[in-house]
Amino acid sequence: MLIVFGGLPGVGKSAIAAEVARRLRAAYLRIDVIEVAMTRGLGLPKEGDIGPAGYIVAYDLARSNLALGVPVVADSVNPVPDTRAAWRAVAADAGAPCLEIEVVCSDLAEHRRRVEGRLDDPAALQPPTWAEVEARHYEPWLEARLRLDTAILSVAESAALVCETVARLADS
């Protein structure tokens, strides 16, 4: 199964996605990690924009893991319908089900606190400022099967809901 997470920076999607990957013993593909590796490998500045390259690498890594029968957790902003459709195509190519999850934080003050309180993450490119998060182009995810609100749910509660959904889908 391909489990695709999306949501603005700072909503908690990476914490939830990593916990789901741990619980399911799934491959964990975090776009931030891929982009950092690519910028280092290509000698680009940390603030550089590599465009869709990180997503393209992740799609291929997901496809190859799914072909081996390994569940995959994909963690990225997925800001537009094109990236979401690409993940669905990866799952379809591999003959695997796809679970789409949008993570939000409905408490704007809490969301801002998280973004502004982020420590430098070596697995991520330059962390965005609150102003950059607010200005970021992000289209609501109409196709998402699950919508997790981290202003209400903890990481553990969110991960449990995802794992329960995965189990139900696997049984059907």
Q: How far is CA 17 from CA 1, 4, 24, 77, 156, in A?
A: 14, 9, 10, 12, 11
Q: Global pTM?
A: 0.92
The domains located in the chain, with CATH, are 25-171 (3.40.50.300)
Confidence label for 43 from pLDDT (cuts 50, 70 and 90): confident
The string of pLDDT tens digits covering residues 67-101 is 999 999 999 999 999 999 999 999 999 999 999 99
Instruction: Judge contact between 55 and 11, C-beta under 8 A.
Output: no
Provide the β-strand partners of residue 100: 4
What is the average pLDDT score of the chain?
92
